[in-house]
Structure 1
Amino acid sequence: MQSYTYLLVNFFTIIICLIASFDKRIQFYKYFGDFLLSSTIVAVLYILWDVWFTKMGVWWFDRNYTLGIVIAGLPLEEWLFFWCIPFACVFTYFCLEKFFDLGWANSLNNLIVFTSSVVLVVIAFLHYQKTYTLITALVTLCVLIFLHFIAKKEWIGQASFVFFVLLLGFIPVNGVLTGTCIESPVVNYNPGDFLGIKILTIPIEDVVYGYSQFLLNIYFFKLFQKQNYQYAN
């Protein structure tokens, strides 16, 4: 049963959202194609990052918690992670945006981007020798700059609010993967490559990493959703 741990984390993350996608009030199933395309683009970027860090020993996986199928140095479950977790996140964003007015949060766009950028630059400068910390800070900084100044997206505030809500699910899911409530972590980190600041057993870098990944998934999902809507009309 232990070898199914990571697979079950992926399964329980996605199953309720998948079933709810067919609810007539939500009908998220109509956007499965948009999601698969957008999440695959983002997955390619983050899988390359994952493969690189695994090869460097920044992090590694306890094979006792996986099925033992390894592709490019990553367990099969880690590959699935890049579609299962974004599915739950994009689905949640879709529902909250559909049923609630989140526009108020967009008034905070400038504040979020400015404050986050300053913090990320300072952290990258002070901790440049810590690989996970440095790369996470720089990638997230680039994502925010791209969305705000180049793509000129006005939904960063509401996306950030939804991500804050998603932390309620992120903490138990990532907590299990990093060792909360199980004998040893599924994902292990080299202490010299991150700050050591944790939420339970979760490195703070994982939260920032997830934030950048979430923003990019929302960006591409909205992009393809809009294109298909225009094509249909």
Structure 2
Amino acid sequence: MMPYTYILINFFTVIICFLASFDRRIQFNKLFGKFLLSSTIVAVPFIIWDIWFTAKGVWWFNLNYTLGIKISGLPLEEWLFFYCIPFSCVFTYYCLEKFFNMNGANAFNNLIVFTSVIVLSVTGFLYYDRIYTLLTVIVTLFTLCYLHFIVKKEWIGKASFVYLLLMPGFFAVNGILTGSFIPSPVVNYNPDDFLGIRMGTIPVEDAVYGYSQFLLNIYFFKKITKNEK
């Protein structure tokens, strides 16, 4: 097992986007500070969630794949995960929004929100005893309802389309973390705490968790950069 596996996952997730940020047509490097602020706002509650679940044994980490540095029970690489993944996601969204007109996807805002609310609500009701499933449902419901009904953002369809485009990267990164292509998982899950439905090796909750995290990162980045179209 390679003790630098997780750090390399973070590195390769972010490096291409980081280098492309300095392209004069993009100049995302000028927004690094604002990204850091917006991503920290989102990262704080998700890291608290992560620390809590790790302490409860909902999931745990195989330290053989890490550098062995732990902060509040989490590997250093897990802390970096909450900045590296959002950086690549926000950067991709920023570039696609800058160079392409994706506003047509916003016609599906209502369909996405109402379908998601129904599916999530039913899932939460049926599987309230699965803590990872339940909390993922609650957070995602709150995120969608807040963005759609309270602050009335019109870009949920566009953001959802970009999230779909990011799925190959999601499957690559989360696939490795959950045991694809390597002898054993970097992240292990208690089978009593989630649905047990996996996409390859990835719990389906991870995709929903990632969706809410993605939407919140986009929201706060847009808010801080004053780009809330």
Same fold (TM over 0.5): yes
Q: Deviations over 1:118-165 (max 9, x none)?
A: 000000000001110110011100000000011110000000000000
Deviations 1:147-195 (A, max 9, x none): 0011110000000000000111110011000000000000000001111
SS in 2 for 1:2: coil
Aligned to 1:53: 53
Counterpart check, 1:87 vs 2:84: no
d(CA) in 1 for partners of 2:150, 2:36: 24
Cross-structure match for 2:170: 170
Q: How does 1:79-118 map to 2 (within 5 A)?
A: 79-118=79-118
Runs of 4+ in 1 over 4 A off after TM superposition: none
* TM-score for the superposition, normalised by structure 1: 0.96
Unaligned runs of 5+ in 1: none
TM-score (norm 2): 0.98
Aligned length, in residue pairs: 228
Deviation at 1:53, TM superposition (A): 0.4
Aligned to 1:159: 159
Percent identity reads 69
Partner residue, 1:6? 6
Q: Which residue of 1 aligns with 2:24?
A: 24
SS, match of residue 92 in structure 2: helix
How much does 1:19 deviate? 0.2
1:1-233 correspondence runs (5 A): 2-226=2-226
Deviation at 1:25, TM superposition (A): 1.1
SS of equivalent residue, structure 1 residue 60: strand
How far did residue 97 of structure 1 move? 0.5
CA RMSD of aligned residues (A): 1.1
Alpha-carbon distance between aligned partners in 1 of 2:130 and 2:42, rounded to the nearest angstrom: 24
Distance 1:45 1:28 in 2: 25
Shift of 1:33: 1.2
> Following the alignment from structure 2 to structure 1, what is the Cα–Cα distance between the partners of residues 118 and 34?
33
**Paired residue type of 1:11:** F
Amino acid at match of 1:85: I
Question: How much does 1:34 deviate?
Answer: 1.2
The 2-side partners of 1:222 and 1:21 are apart by: 17
Cα offsets for 1:69-93 (capped at 9, x unmatched): 0000000000000000000000000
User: Gaps (5+ residues) in structure 2?
Assistant: none
